Structure 1
Amino acid sequence: MAQIKYPPMELSPSQATMLGAIFDTVLAQLTPEEENAIKQKIQGKESIYQVSVDQVASMSQLSATSLQIPSVVVDFFSNHVAPDKRADLLRVLDILATRPGSFLLTGYWRPLPELSRQQREDIMLKWKNSSLQSLRNLFKILSNLCLYNAYSRKHSALIDSIGHNAANGDAFFENHPDYDPVEHERIPMMQTGEATCGHLEFDVVVVGSGAGGGVAAAELAKAGYSVLVIEKGKYYHQSEMVHEEETCYTNMYDGGTSTTSTSGSIQCLSGATLGGGTALNYLVSLKPQHFVREEWAKQGLAYFASSQFSRDLNTVFDRIGASQENILETKTNSKFEKGCHELGYHIEKVFVNTAGRAHHCSRCMMGCKAGIKNSTANTWLLDALHHGARFLDRTLVTRIVTNDRGTKAVGVECQIHDTQQLVMIKAKKVIVACGALRTPGLLKASGLSNSNIGKHLRLQPIMFGFGFFDETIRQMDGPLISRVCNASDDCHGDHYGAKIEEGLMLPGGLASKIPWYGAAKHKELMLRHKSVASFVNVVRDKDSVGVVTFDKSNPNPVYEYALSKHDAKSLTICIERNMRILAAAGARELYTSQANVEGFAFNDDETSSPDNPRFNQWLDRVSKAGISAVSTPLVSVHQLGSCRMGTSPKSSVVQPSGETWECKNVYIADGSLFPTAVGVNPMVTIEAIALHVSRHVISTMEPSSRL
């Protein structure tokens, strides 16, 4: 779809000054005393952190405004945020510029730009842990925007000062003797003239090209039916992918980077490119565990306990080349294994979709330039292409067109490429695979009214853990995720727990997720980014409340998510165990992403150990702090369940076949039809269920005119 054109975001001089003052507090020029303290911290360890005292001096002088971050953020708002959504930020900036407003929000009558840096920093820290959710959210949004944009730019004095070569990020893998790229053919896209002719008709239109849509397109095309795959995002061949944070997220992710829940409680990352999430995920390929299959079968969905589902899972494994072979041993996964073994925790290699080829790349969240990751664009969609399927990218399906009674699909209405023209494309069947954040909106825009549409959203929230070592780790040299620990899988006895996986982060992501305790401390941690091991704690959410709503005026998904006490406890238990693993592995400093908990550092005369009394006192504080709504940064890369499958329209959106209860010929084949959260990376499960749905579609089809 063409980029939505918003009017530029314009700040008044007062607003611009206020935004600059806030950003220059988060990313501040340091005092000589602060600079010297950091130099003393790294003295004698320059080879470990791979930075010099000159780089410390350079970094100390940099601020958000010297890096032009306010203008970068304003450009982001101009390109990706609707004017009515910008209003809240502008209103806050205006309020802060008044004496009463300043006193109300900061405790000072003088406005922020007139306060000392220390006073402004104290205000930011109070906002971060405020009893008012609105202030916690304000701090999180502004600090994340500032830090992510500052550390994700390709050409930047800040990036140079921490020794990160953003412009040559693939050097490790490309220079490795195992490097053996796979060149895939280009998938031709339908051109504007043909797409807007008004006479297109297909047996099947598949909306979305990710895990579900890719499989459905392949299966229907192989069965001999005419298939059109419509993708909202742009198709990038591997030769066109750009491994730079500042470019990739704008090009290939929904919302231009991510989308955020209405309250700011969680941030969702989802693909908006040909291949969907499979083009951007971390390669992890896991089958659903037995207890998930049994739970779904007990809900009346016998397929999930059947040998057919097992065969479908195996078919997916075979097609995507799920393998544990040729996974590089790195400092990060070695530390992970050491910590788990010391504690007796479970740990195992993950399967990755590389067909056993070496893939020592840390950039596949930006697309696989080497062509080794078997995304749908490199597998199922090629199968579809070879059996006659057509493809249309940059096209938004605005609604499913139905008959006069609204009971049967007859096609789709689309906005194609850069045109504002709405075009109907006829189809006998419509398979919706837009993902759990967008599928509900398309159904509602099409007139479906089942009360369960958009409800039961599961996000498998992620919380981050960080361990800093007195040795070089270089987590960016090697695979993204290679191990999983299930030690907290069943921490409540109901199989709704959490898993620990490596969570490699490039500087932009790390800077925006590592806790901010002040500008100097944050800069010090970022200078040491080559000695950090990052982990994700992924919860199988049981009873958190997630809802997707439909707002025709908003091009981004609108959703809300409230973490339940049960699921928050799962995350807390998991992050405690994550910290124990890191301590057992030898980490010297440990941090959770909890905003209201300081980090922990072993003293110079102490051995890193999970038995250390001070460490265990700190873990008690971690446990008691729990998950603070909004201020603890939660992220989701697994959106599920918002149009769930079931045995009754009273409790579900689709039948066991994948067809919607209320409109014939409309099927769903993505993660939104999961009955519950699956608890593992969902790609394999989605693809297997898409095989199941495709069989049902084929069983109802008449012979194609193409045959």
Structure 2
Amino acid sequence: MTDEKNSLYGGSQSSDAKSIDIYDENLHLAEKQKKIFLAICGVFISELNGKEFDVYMNTKTYTNVPKNANNIKEFGQINFESKDDFSARLFDRLQKTTHPHQFARISSMLKKMCSKMTSYSMTNSPTKLFYELSLEQRAAAVAKWSTSQKASIRQFYRTISYVARTAFWLNPYGIYPAIGYPGPDPEKNGPRFKGRTFPEYEFIKITEDTNDLEFDVVIIGSGAGGSVAAARNSVLVIEKGHHYHQSQLTLREKDGYEKLYELGGGMLSEDSSMTVLAGSNFGGGTTVSWSTSVEPSHFVREEWANDYGLIHFMDDDFVDSIKNIKNRLGVSSSNVIHNENNKILIEGCKKLGAPVATVSQNSASKLHECGWCGFGCRYGEKQGAAMTYLKDAKDYDVKFIQDCFVKRVIIENNKAVGVEATINNGDKKFKVNAKKVIVACGALHSPALLLRSGLKDKNIGKNLYTNPMAAVYGIFPNKEVKAYSGTIQSAVCDAKENVDGEYHGVKIVVGSCHPAMMSTSFPWKSPLQHKQFMLQYNHIVPLLIIARDRDPGQIKIDSKGLPKLDYKLSPHDAESVIAGILTSLKILVAAGATKIGTCQTEVEEFEIVGENSLNDPKFLQYLEKVKKVGVSNGQACLGSIYQMGTCRMGSDKAKSVVNPFGETWDVKNLYVADSSVFPTSAGASPMITTMSIGFYVANCILSEKEFVKKRQSAMLGTPNSTFTDNTNADKRSSRRRSLLSSFGSKRFSMSN
């Protein structure tokens, strides 16, 4: 990949390295603030003192994975802040991952710490500033911040901790051999890559001489929804990210996150309690997905149809669209070979008596062992948008623009007539005139774009669902796990899928945990603890608990019109997550883990002893502590790899942003076709569902009155019997009549 940076707008823009002082006028630290910031960051990866080093070197290392004793020793002695590029790397990472408004909070806290009087609560020292403390004193202070009673201090800790650890582990000064990590996929230049051909794309070049462009339809976003919609229309697709040909995918963790993800893979929620991963590239989330390809659950479809008037999700057309999409992507559970990670999940579930199933993959029904696929599939085996629907669109002569940020939809006389966009980080502006505009920027950027465009619908940005994710780990000293290798996510346990009786619960899976992700998925407690943990890297099995959340958050926009993710895990959804954590720990113990740990800051690692471990009183006490501590109040490492619901689709204008055909209620010819239209949380990978929505909205636009007439007719008919129960038949029929009545009283034109 080329040396590029994620702009403030979220796309990839070529540029030389820039100082944080000149990158943005709001991203500035005074010299004393910088010294404090660096002194804090230096704590997380610091040299162990004599006693700590002796403990570290006596830590059991596992002989079945070749490791060099000198590498292990070097890892114990390494001190991040002693490196010449320490400052540059930290500020670069801060620049890539921090919104200006979040940086302002960091700056404010650092400013308080510049005074000995106001910094006392952070240092417990009345006479010294933070950078004047010894390393031991600094480490002790930082460890206390993670469990502080003050939310502002916990937030400050989480943000800087995440920046520091990722800045180190994305390129850890040759330390990979100490933990047994090979770096980029060793096969990346082998026959799997050389023996394949890949789609080639051309992009419209926007120059200073470019005049306004003219297209019938413009689609903003090239991910799951936008790509399928594009393959159904003659259009222009605008993508704020960049297209990297398979030959440009280095499969380095640093490149993968910084080039293919929103804000370099470092986006945090407003209170910094959640790490948010969202694709930002040509192909969107489909480029970096873990190949998981599942249909929406029956209870989700019934909820959307019954509670939101979206009958489409229960009829034969929807079933057919799902079938067509799965066929195009080659979705199948055949030819799946479980890696050691997934084998341990399966083994633990079977011993525990918990249900476990194989997960279907979008790999053209072929073998796909690609643990680096979260950084793009170099082999073209994963059938993401760039391998399928964008290729189809190209073949239909659809045009593309990359590295392009759409500032607003142009609206005249309550009708969308085009978009205003920029390239080169805002230096060049231009317009695209169009008869129809389809917004497919994802659940983060679609509501932001609508708000920037002047839409006043109070529902825009609300109903944000994140499928909140927690993690636990087990250590298996006699197994070479390598959580980053092989098929990423091939098994799932849904034992706790229905915690509340209304199908809000969790799914338990494994994931591809490369060093930076592994290091930040679990709490940092001291330099010694962190290095001991990472030394066992190849023997750690992380289980991911992904919740179907009931209670949503919200997307707001900052002063630049960029999305801010405001989400806090509710007590209700925290119960689901804890239920999943408890079950996951039991699965690991049943599978033979010798140590287990959680993402909770206040819960220590637990060592398994004895043969009847599941009934060991100490283990049961440990589970009680896990339950009591919980995961609320920002004291656990939480994440989100799926976002949805911020431009809700529905039949009631008062509760939704777009009508059942994907068109915004307030502006004609303006459509939304991505996961943001989900009425509620899907609780699983949204890719297939999002693609079906892109297919559906495109059909609505193409067929117009004929299609609308068919849809209205279907609404009066009987739903597919698979999803019908006699008890609710009259209720559903009444809702359909009410829905059609509302169509007669509200503007619902599909024409120009």
Contact 1:640 1:677 (8 Å CA) reproduced: yes
Corresponding residue number in structure 1 for 2:145: 127
Matching residue's letter, 1:210: G
Structure 2 residue 257 is the aligned partner of structure 1 residue 253:
no
Amino acid at match of 1:190: I
- Partner of residue 601, structure 2: 595
Measured in 2, the distance between the counterparts of 1:419 and 1:108 equals 46
Instruction: Give the deviation of 1:517 after TM superposition.
Output: 2.0
Letter in 1 for 2:74: S
Aligned match of 1:56 in 65, 72, 90? 72
Q: 1:219 aligns with which of 200, 225, 232?
A: 232
Distance, in Å, in 2 between the alignment partners of 1:150 and 1:328 is 33
- Residue 474 of structure 2 corresponds to residue 462 of structure 1: no
Once residues 100 and 699 of structure 2 are traced to their aligned partners in structure 1, the CA distance between those partners, rounded to angstroms, is: 45
The whole-number CA distance in structure 1 between the counterparts of 2:417 and 2:377 is 36
Amino acid at match of 1:216: A
Moved more, 55-64 or 577-586: 55-64
- Measured in 2, the distance between the counterparts of 1:77 and 1:528 equals 28
Q: What's the TM-score, normalizing by structure 2?
A: 0.87
What's 2:325 paired with?
Answer: 316
User: How far does the alpha carbon of each residue in 1:349-388 deviate from its partner, in whole angstroms, 9 at most, with x for none?
Assistant: 1011001222211111111111111111110011011011
Shift of 1:611: 2.2
Q: State the Cα distance separating 1:196 from its structure 2 match.
A: 5.9
What residue number does 2:175 align with? 158
Give the aligned residue type for 2:178. S
Measured in 1, the distance between the counterparts of 2:668 and 2:236 equals 19
Q: How does 1:566-581 map to 2 (within 5 A)?
A: 566-581=572-587
Structure 1 runs not aligned, ≥5 long = 221-225, 703-707
Matched, 1:612 2:627: no
- Match in the other structure for 2:4: none
Deviation per CA, 1:613-662: give whole Å up to 9, x if none.
21111011101111132231211111100000011110000111111111
Deviation at 1:500, TM superposition (A): 0.5
Paired letter, 1:184: F
Amino acid at match of 2:92: D
Asked whether the equivalents of residues 183 and 370 of structure 1 are also in contact (C-alpha less than 8 Å), the reply is no
Q: Is the 8 A contact 2:372 2:485 kept in 1?
A: no
The reply on whether 1:381 has 2:414 as its aligned counterpart is no
Contact kept, 8 Å, 2:238 with 2:404, in 1: the verdict is yes
Partner of 1:705: none
Contact kept, 8 Å, 2:101 with 2:558, in 1: the verdict is no
Where do residues 200-211 of structure 1 align in structure 2 (5 Å cutoff)? Answer: 200-211=213-224
Aligned pair partner of 1:17 in 35, 38, 58: 35
Bigger mean CA offset, 477-486 vs 419-428: 419-428
1:181 offset after TM fit, Å? 5.4
Structure 1 residues 324 and 21 mapped into 2: Cα distance closer, same or farther (>3 Å)?
Answer: same
1: CA distance, partners of 2:588 / 2:579: 15
Q: Could you say which residue in structure 2 is the equivalent of 1:335?
A: 344
Return closer, same or farther for 1:159/1:559 CA change in 2, 3 Å cut-off: same
8 Å contact from structure 2 (residues 465, 553) kept in 1: yes
- Secondary structure in structure 1 of the residue aligned to 2:659: coil
1-structure distance, mates of 2:431, 2:209 = 9
Is 2:82 aligned against 1:69? no
Distance in 1 separating the partners of 2:100 and 2:510: 38
**Are 1:370 and 2:383 counterparts?**
no
CA distance in 2, matches of 1:458, 1:79: 25
Deviates more, 1:325-334 or 1:378-387: 325-334
Q: CA 1:196 to 1:668, structure 2 compared with 1: closer, same or farther past 3 Å?
A: farther
After superposition, the Cα gap between the structure-2 partners of 1:427 and 1:564, relative to the gap in structure 1 and judged at 3 Å, is same
Q: 1:81 to 1:618 in 2, by over 3 A?
A: closer
What amino acid sits opposite 2:430 in the alignment?
V
CA distance in 2, matches of 1:552, 1:102: 30
Kindly report the root-mean-square deviation, in angstroms, between the aligned alpha carbons of the 2 structures: 2.1
Counterpart of 2:721 in structure 1 is none
Is structure 2 residue 156 aligned with structure 1 residue 147? no
How far apart, CA to CA, are the structure 1 residues paired with 2:651 and 2:463? Answer: 15
Shift of 1:313: 0.9
Report the residue type matching 1:60 in the other structure.
G
Distance 1:608 1:634 in 2: 31
Contact 1:130 1:136 in 2 (8 A): yes
| CA–CA separation in structure 2 for the residues paired with 1:127 and 1:566 | 26
Counting only pairs closer than 5 Å after superposition, residues 431-450 of structure 1 correspond to structure 2 as 431-450=438-457
Structure 2, unaligned runs of 5 or more: 1-10, 707-752
Superposed, 1:287-686 pairs within 5 Å as 287-299=295-307, 300-403=309-412, 405=413, 407-417=414-424, 420-471=427-478, 472-543=480-551, 545-553=552-560, 556-603=562-609, 606-607=610-611, 609-686=613-690
TM-score, length basis structure 1:
0.93
Q: Could you say which residue in structure 1 is the equivalent of 2:198?
A: 184
Q: In structure 2, what is the Cα distance between the partners aligned to 1:431 and 1:596?
A: 46
**1:47 alignment partner in structure 2:** 63
CA deviations over 1:555-596 (Å, ceiling 9, x no partner): x42120121111010000001101100000011111111111
2:711 corresponds to 1:693: no
Distance 1:681 1:492 in 2: 21
Work out the number of aligned pairs and report it. 684
The CA distance in 2 between the partners of 1:97 and 1:624, in whole Å, is 37
Instruction: Give the secondary-structure state (helix, strand or coil) at the position aligned to 1:396.
Output: strand
SS at match of 1:41: coil
Equivalent residue for 1:36, pick from 50, 54, 59: 54
